[in-house]
Structures are given as structure tokens and as C-alpha cells.
Structure 1
Amino acid sequence: MFSPKRLARLKWACRRGMLELDVLFMPFVDEAFEQLDDEQQETFERLLTCDDPDLFAWFMGHQKCEDPELAEMVAIILNRVKV
């Protein structure tokens, strides 16, 4: 369970330098983050430490994420967007 302070930091980290990433992360953290299990929440937090060019490449399908946990989180976020 994330403390309110940690959740606020997480939301701040969702604000990226690329609009394409902002429109993925901001709604996800506001609407779906709480439904993730603890391990997935930790993985999402770790995902936000990655560089924007890597994130962009993964989410746009230009490159495959080599980390299986991060790749699964990318898929979770993308599947949510498609719904």
C-alpha cells in the first residue's frame, strides 16, 4: 500500500516530457493504479524511472522491453487504453 506522500510522488513522476506518455500514465495512475497488486504497483513505480525515449519506443511498439516485469506492465497499460 502506497502512503499518500509516496502516491503523490508517483503522480508527479507520471508527468513526463512527452505528451504521448502523459496521456498514458496520468489516467492510468488516477483510474487503475489502485487495482494493481503490490508487486505490480512496485513495477509501475520502477517503470517511471526509465528514460522517456525508451518508454516511448516500448509503448509505440518500436522496440521490445527486455525486462519481463516492465514489459508486462507496458502490456497492462496498453490493454487498458484499448478498452
Structure 2
Amino acid sequence: MSEQKAFDATARKRLYWHSRRGMWELDLMLVPFFENRFDELSDEDQYAYQALLAEEDQDLFLWLMRREMPGNQALVPIITQIVDYAENTHTSDVRPL
């Protein structure tokens, strides 16, 4: 039997659609990360990603562009993973400052 995942197929689809923010810069970072890395994340990181998606687009932009870091330190590791993924896979023409 396969390992139990934190998010079932329905919840995963919901997270995918929440990853599509409508802001080009965010979409270029969040969607590829979700499609290629989400299933490999620990349960803790998956929940952090879910919490991250609940934040406002303006805040996500500042954090993913490394202009600011969130007050909630629990989000810092997932933000770092998303930025590192974008930088290392060249999935984005947007380069964090």
C-alpha cells in the first residue's frame, strides 16, 4: 500500500487552482513549483504551502521577490524552496532581488 499523503486528489486540485494567482510573476513561480515539487514535500511543507496560498498576492510578491520576509517564520522555508526552485530551473524570467 502506498504512503498516505496529507492531501487527497481533490485537495491537491484545489491547491493547484489556488496556485494560479492571476499575477504573472506569481504564476511563473507557484504553478511550476506546485506541479513539479509539491508531491515530494514533507507533510509539514505541504501544509506551509497551503498556508502560503492563503496570503495576499501583494505579500506573496514581496516575499517571492525577496524584498521582504513574512512575519510568520513558519512560511520562510517554503518561500525559500519556491524561490530556489525558480532560480535553479529557470522556470521564470522573474529573478528575485
Q: CA RMSD in A?
A: 0.9
Greater fraction helix:
1
TM-score normalised according to structure 2 size: 0.81
In the alignment of these two chains, the number of paired residues is 83
Q: Which runs of 5+ in 1 are unaligned?
A: none
Q: Percent identity?
A: 34
Q: Which runs of 5+ in 2 are unaligned?
A: 89-97
TM-score normalised according to structure 1 size: 0.94
Distance 1:64 1:46 in 2: 15
**1:68 counterpart (61, 66, 73):** 73
Per-residue CA shift, 1:45-70, capped at 9, x if unaligned? 11000000000011112212121111
Segments ≥4 residues shifted beyond 6 Å? none
Provide the residue aligned with 2:12 in structure 1: 7
Q: Mark the structure with the bigger radius of gyration.
A: 2
Whether the 8 Å CA contact 1:58–1:65 is kept in 2: the answer is yes
Letter in 2 for 1:39: E
Distance 1:66 1:82 in 2: 23
